[in-house]
Amino acid sequence: MQKTCPECGDKIIGRADKKYCSDACRNTANNKLNTDSKNLLRNTNNKLRKNYRILEALNPDDKTKTTKAKLLQAGFDFDLFTGIYTTKAGTIYYFVYDQGYLPLDGDFYALVKRN
């Protein structure tokens, strides 16, 4: 029985357990499988990635202070974060993966990195 490539339909030559005719077909099939099927999910991930890069750029020493204006100027979106950490004292840190920020008085923010 002759096997055909599920991506392009060409004849598969080679090992008995080979699934695709070429690396290009295998890559194309995997890329289709792994793409975000919904625009909302893709756009949210892109915004989270942007927030992470902004925090990482403004916080090279793992702990620093910045202003809200600097964050907004860089395009930071305060509505998107991946986690919240509340200390025993009740202080609330917002995290984008391992980069976090703490709202302070006077439109200042403490930037931290969780290890």
- Strand, coil or helix: what is 44? helix
The whole-number mean pLDDT for each consecutive block of 10 residues of the chain, a chain of 115 residues, reads 89 92 94 77 92 96 95 96 96 96 95 92
| pLDDT digit string, tens, across residues 63-77 | 999 999 999 999 999
CB 102 within 8 A of CB 108: no
User: Does a structural domain hold residue 31?
Assistant: no
**pLDDT value for 31:** 86
Closest by CA to 110, choosing from 98, 94, 88, is: 94
**pLDDT value for 70:** 96
User: Does a structural domain hold residue 6?
Assistant: no
Total domains in the fold of the chain: 1
**pLDDT value for 38:** 75
User: Does a structural domain hold residue 33?
Assistant: no
**Residue-range definition of the domain harbouring residue 79:** 39-113
**pLDDT value for 11:** 93
User: Does a structural domain hold residue 1?
Assistant: no
Measured over the CA atoms of residue 63, residue 66, residue 72 and residue 78, the dihedral's sign is positive
**pLDDT value for 32:** 86
Burial classification of residue 24, based on how many CB atoms lie within 10 Å of its CB (0-12 exposed, 13-18 middle, 19 or more buried): exposed
User: Does a structural domain hold residue 102?
Assistant: yes
**pLDDT value for 98:** 95
**pTM of this structure:** 0.70
User: Does a structural domain hold residue 7?
Assistant: no
CB 4 within 8 A of CB 10: yes
**pLDDT value for 80:** 95
